[in-house]
Amino acid sequence: MTKERKQALWGLVLVTPSFLLLLVVVVIPIVQSFIESLRNEAGGYDLSRYEWLFTDKGMRNNIWFTLKITVISCALVLLIGYALALYLRFSPGKLAGWIRRTYMIPMFIPGVIATYGLMNLLGNHGWLSRLLLPFGVTLPRIIFDEKGLIIANLWFNIPFTTMLLSSAIAGIPGSVIESARDVGAGKLGIFFRIILPLSYKTFLVALTFVFMGVIGSFTAPFLIGQNSPQMLGVAMEQVFGVFQEREQAAAIAVFTFLLCSVLGFFYIRSMAKEEAARM
């Protein structure tokens, strides 16, 4: 056996465990759901479950609503995450120190508790409205509305995003930024021409995490979302647990998976490009 073949074999042996794990917990369930979602009411196989997804008015609204909430949440989370990470990197002040020490706290508060906390804080008769009442300020409806959902998504996703972006920005050598400054680059110029390109990979990772997290979220949308339109996670649970239509729920699951895999495609493509460049 030549040395290369031996090495190739070893490589295969080493990836087998993770491949098997992936096969059992990811690939097989997806295939099963897909097959299940193709079964129609008569017992045959066709695309009627998917047809319903896009023809039922309520469901179509759910899909649009989910996409809207996800896109808005992703944009806001990444914007705030970048701002925070940059602030933490370039500000030596005391405030930055405090933020650095505390910004991870939301990650350690269980989702249900945080959600009830938000309900008590932002509800129609919540603390915030009571505090603002003497000033004659009336809050718009936040809980049981998409605003509340987006706020909850910010709470759940900003810490992790900031953490990811912080580490990426910390890896950018200060000398690069300084030399850019020396040749007269403005703040925005530095961000868009140096920081963003150099942390682009992490940006993509963060985007993927936020997107997947929001699109599949359940607890917050269940407790503070409207009855209609719903996030896909809530709709899926209702179709599965309450209406007992497993095939229909499987179709929603496969559709959600497809939405996520679009993002996964871009992510993997950028990774592959980088690998190719390195070789």
228 contributes a contact to another protein by CB under 8 A: yes
Find the part of the chain contacting another protein (CB under 8 A) among 20-28, 98-106, 233-241, 264-272. 233-241
Query: In sequence order, which residues have a C-beta less than 8 Å from that of residue 245 and are 6 or more positions away?
Result: 239
- Of the candidates 90, 242, 263, 65, the residue with the CA atom closest to the CA atom of residue 181: 90
43 contributes a contact to another protein by CB under 8 A: no
CA–CA gap between residue 97 and residue 159 (Å, rounded): 15
1 contributes a contact to another protein by CB under 8 A: no
Instruction: Name which position in 41, 56, 178, 274 contacts another protein (CB under 8 A).
Output: 56
Binding mask 88-127 for another protein (x = CB under 8 A): -----------------------------------xxx--
Nearer of residues 242 and 277 to another protein, judged by Cβ: 242
Shortest separation between residue 6's beta carbon and another protein, angstroms: 35
Binding residues for another protein restricted to 184-223, rule: CB under 8 A: 222-223
244 contributes a contact to another protein by CB under 8 A: yes
Residues that bind another protein (CB under 8 A): 56-58, 61, 123-125, 141, 144, 222-223, 226-229, 238, 240-244
